[in-house]
A and B are shown apart, each in its own frame.
Chain A
Amino acid sequence: MAVASNTSPMIRKSESASQWWTRWLDPSERTLAVLLLLPAALLLSLIIVYPVVRLVWTSFQNLSLTSGVPAKFSGLENYALMLEDPIFWEATWNTVLITLITVPGALVFGLALALMANLPFKRKWPVRLSLLIPWALPLSFAGLIFAWFFHSEYGVVNDILRRVGISGIIWFNSAGWAFAAICLTIIWKTSSFMALIILAGLQTIPRSLYEAADVDGAGRLRQFFEITLPLLKPAIVVALIFRTITALQTFDIPFTMTRGGPGTSTSTLAMYIHQNTVDFLDLGYGSALAVVMFAISMCVTTVYLRMIRTKG
């Protein structure tokens, strides 16, 4: 091999145009690999790398479409502004809170749903279908439906509360109740996604392990904690990564249910980005906010991936 690589530059120097053309038609594996990857690499650059680079660049600019002033480089000014912006902190805190509440909530409900769906039903498809429906519904649609469920006068939730003797709650008038309604809706909407991933994990656990545990004398609860849960860890971590990233980007459900209200008490970081870029047309500040959200997502993903690697 060493001999071949030493001689190849000499050969290349002396090769004629026709030889070069032959080499081009019969490329080495390395050239072929590069050629085959090139279209995908170009496409990815176009749809991912360029927008991200452009976003970061815009975040360093003073670019507001309503000011009538041309864009100019402003360094870290947008970021400095962000640190003093109370709405940014409120929206970030709300986003973190939604993530901290809805991700574990969806995990617990998703796990319960997956365990139910994994029971030996004679007909499995109705169970699987009922799991899929909430997942398949558009987020904004789910938000609108639940806004009706939580309506103070006509909502089914208050109707049930009144039937059990609890006076109705005006859900969207108080920051706390509005936040609770949003979290419940997100948990309902996203539990099925968690359940689907966990169900796939459950189905990889061999039945013979439970039979061995039966013979070993372990009851159902012990089997769950000693066999099911440890063997589900990889599926749970994958589900948590996806769910956490989407939770950090929460937009549709609070947007359709409360528009961030009352006041800005249920506004999320994604909604604040939307408000700045779409409503106020302040692309520089909006981009800086988006960069922060991107950084948070990347940090969380890195932490999860490290967790998987450590477990592995």
Chain B
Amino acid sequence: MSSVSFRRLEKAYGPLRIVKGIDLEIADKEFVVLVGPSGCGKSTTLRMLAGLESISGGEIRIGERVVNKLPPRERDIAMVFQDYALYPHKTVYDNMAFSLKVRGVPASDIRTRITQAADMLGIGQLLDRKPSQLSGGQRQRVAMGRAIVRRPQVFLFDEPLSNLDAKLRGQVRTEIKRLHQAVGTTIIYVTHDQVEAMTLADRIVILKGGEIEQVGTPDEVYNKPASVFVGGFIGSPAMNFAKAQLQGGRLKFEGGADIPLNPGVDVKSVALDGRDVVVGIRPEHFSAAGQGATLSGRVQVVEPLGSDTLIHFAVGSSTLTARVVPEMRPSPGEILEIGVDPSRVHIFDAGTERALH
């Protein structure tokens, strides 16, 4: 088990810079998720850590060792690939045993380790099968088993759930979390799915355009998004954004509606008064009128989900979405009066799109 650190890590293909100087410290036994949209550099960063991609600049450390030039086999890492990368001509047992055989581990030790890992993952009955005889979920577990038997310093997961259906994804996600709790090894996990990031991570690293946008616990990135991008990326349905202007301690929306400013925002210290801002409100932070401040808008679409109702309504030129109790069923075209807690309203600079509180 080991810590991992990136210092000014860079990757460029000719003039195209994919990773633009990432600094990150990952503690021993920590579960860190790198998340971001396609092309943000998350998989490239993971592959540089694995040694499958060379680095263009900076430094990677695993524990106290600088591993910049070391080949993958000398980094003491194990990786679970997006397509599982199981050897199709080998049985499950041989897939799991391969790395141990290469390292000259005695056959009796190999058998013990594989039996332990198979028991942990519930794949004991599959050891004689070939990968083609397994379901997607079983393959995923074999890929994890292959990584576990190695007992590496760091586990790397590269979008391991993206080939599974939604139901199976939920199950395997739980298994990965259980695995981390059982083995306690440092895990670095790449995904584009914010639900996976929120449910699995001790800390989430949100990447955009090859740079870190925010690093924090799931609570931090959800409750204190550092930018419009983070606010929009984390949370489902996505955070609502609307243009507004701060005037006399109130947020004036285009179209005339206004609400009081988040009491946590110090207007003087950030010199906000009169400036254009982007207001971010999560759909789940709307409530029935009369609770907190009231915002009004014309209802466009109502989507009953059973457990709650999504109401899409227009405030000025912006369309907002509210997730409210299922009993609330306004009609399209009606003027909706809806409550919002000012302390949960996020304010971002309209120019830089960074949070102002």
B158-196 vs A, CB cutoff 8 Å, 1 = contact: the mask equals: 000000000000000000000000000000000000000
- Which of chain A's residues 204-233 have a Cβ closer than 8 Å to chain B? 206, 208-209, 211-219, 222, 226-227, 230-231
B87 with A217: CB separation less than 8 A: no
B80 and chain A: residue at smallest CB distance: A212
Supposing A212-B81, A214-B51, A214-B52 touch, asked if A231 and B102 sit within 8 A by C-beta, the answer is no
Q: How far is the CA of A226 from the CA of B95 in the complex (A)?
A: 11
Select the residue from A212, A213, A222, A227 with max chain B CB neighbours within 10 A: A212
Q: How far is the CA of A212 from the CA of B88 in the complex (A)?
A: 12
- Which of chain B's residues 96-119 have a Cβ closer than 8 Å to chain A? 98-99, 102-103
B77 with A208: CB separation less than 8 A: no
CB contacts (< 8 Å) of A218 on chain B: these are 73, 98-99, 102
Say if the beta carbon of B71 comes within 8 Å of chain A. Answer: yes
Say if the beta carbon of B50 comes within 8 Å of chain A. Answer: yes
CB contacts (< 8 Å) of A206 on chain B: these are 83, 85
- Which of chain B's residues 272-326 have a Cβ closer than 8 Å to chain A? none
**How far apart are A218's CB and chain B's nearest CB, in angstroms?**
5
A215 with B77: CB separation less than 8 A: yes
A217 with B99: CB separation less than 8 A: yes
- Which of chain B's residues 62-96 have a Cβ closer than 8 Å to chain A? 71-73, 77-79, 81-83, 85-89
**How far apart are A222's CB and chain B's nearest CB, in angstroms?**
7
| Contact residue among B73, B89, B146, B150 (Cβ-Cβ distance under 8 Å from A214) | B73
B98 with A215: CB separation less than 8 A: no
Supposing A214-B72, A215-B79, A217-B73 touch, asked if A230 and B102 sit within 8 A by C-beta, the answer is no
CB contacts (< 8 Å) of A215 on chain B: these are 50-52, 72-73, 77-79, 99
A189-209 vs B, CB cutoff 8 Å, 1 = contact: the mask equals: 000000000000000001011
CB contacts (< 8 Å) of A230 on chain B: these are 89
A218 and chain B: residue at smallest CB distance: B102
CB contacts (< 8 Å) of B52 on chain A: these are 211, 214-215
A212 and chain B: residue at smallest CB distance: B85
B158 and chain A: residue at smallest CB distance: A208
A214 with B71: CB separation less than 8 A: yes
B81 and chain A: residue at smallest CB distance: A208
A208 and chain B: residue at smallest CB distance: B85
CB contacts (< 8 Å) of A211 on chain B: these are 50, 52, 72, 79, 81, 85
B89 with A231: CB separation less than 8 A: yes
**How far apart are B189's CB and chain A's nearest CB, in angstroms?**
16
Q: How far is the CA of A214 from the CA of B51 in the complex (A)?
A: 9
CB contacts (< 8 Å) of B102 on chain A: these are 216-218, 222
CB contacts (< 8 Å) of B83 on chain A: these are 206, 208
CB contacts (< 8 Å) of A209 on chain B: these are 85, 87
Q: How far is the CA of A164 from the CA of B331 in the complex (A)?
A: 96
**How far apart are A83's CB and chain B's nearest CB, in angstroms?**
45
CB contacts (< 8 Å) of B78 on chain A: these are 215
Q: How far is the CA of A206 from the CA of B98 in the complex (A)?
A: 18
**How far apart are B344's CB and chain A's nearest CB, in angstroms?**
43
B73 with A227: CB separation less than 8 A: no
**How far apart are A7's CB and chain B's nearest CB, in angstroms?**
46
B79 with A217: CB separation less than 8 A: no
B87 with A227: CB separation less than 8 A: yes
**How far apart are B77's CB and chain A's nearest CB, in angstroms?**
7
Q: How far is the CA of A226 from the CA of B103 in the complex (A)?
A: 15
**How far apart are B102's CB and chain A's nearest CB, in angstroms?**
4
Q: How far is the CA of A222 from the CA of B71 in the complex (A)?
A: 15
Q: How far is the CA of A227 from the CA of B87 in the complex (A)?
A: 7
B89 with A216: CB separation less than 8 A: no
**How far apart are B78's CB and chain A's nearest CB, in angstroms?**
7
Q: How far is the CA of A230 from the CA of B98 in the complex (A)?
A: 15
CB contacts (< 8 Å) of A226 on chain B: these are 87, 98
Q: How far is the CA of A92 from the CA of B280 in the complex (A)?
A: 86
**How far apart are A47's CB and chain B's nearest CB, in angstroms?**
40
CB contacts (< 8 Å) of A227 on chain B: these are 87
Supposing A217-B102, A217-B103, A218-B98 touch, asked if A212 and B89 sit within 8 A by C-beta, the answer is no
CB contacts (< 8 Å) of B87 on chain A: these are 209, 212-213, 226-227
Q: How far is the CA of A214 from the CA of B81 in the complex (A)?
A: 13
**How far apart are A185's CB and chain B's nearest CB, in angstroms?**
36
Q: How far is the CA of A219 from the CA of B51 in the complex (A)?
A: 14
**How far apart are B158's CB and chain A's nearest CB, in angstroms?**
9
CB contacts (< 8 Å) of A217 on chain B: these are 72-73, 99, 102-103
B102 and chain A: residue at smallest CB distance: A217
B73 with A231: CB separation less than 8 A: no
Supposing A211-B52, A214-B51, A214-B71 touch, asked if A231 and B88 sit within 8 A by C-beta, the answer is yes
**How far apart are B113's CB and chain A's nearest CB, in angstroms?**
14
B77 and chain A: residue at smallest CB distance: A215
Q: How far is the CA of A208 from the CA of B51 in the complex (A)?
A: 13
**How far apart are B292's CB and chain A's nearest CB, in angstroms?**
51
- 28 CB contacts below 8 A, A to B, read A208-B83, A208-B85, A209-B87, A211-B52, A211-B72, A212-B79, A212-B81, A212-B86, A212-B87, A213-B98, A214-B71, A214-B72, A214-B73, A215-B50, A215-B52, A215-B72, A215-B73, A215-B77, A216-B98, A217-B72, A217-B99, A217-B103, A218-B98, A218-B99, A218-B102, A226-B98, A227-B87, A231-B88
The chain B residues found within 8 Å of chain A, CB to CB, are 50-52, 71-73, 77-79, 81-83, 85-89, 98-99, 102-103, 146, 150
* 9 interchain residue pairs of minimum CB distance: A216-B99, A217-B73, A212-B85, A208-B85, A214-B72, A217-B102, A230-B89, A215-B72, A215-B79
Inter-chain pairs besides A211-B79, A216-B73, 15 sampled, C-beta below 8 Å: A208-B81, A211-B85, A212-B81, A214-B51, A214-B71, A215-B50, A215-B51, A215-B52, A216-B146, A216-B150, A217-B72, A218-B99, A226-B87, A226-B98, A231-B88
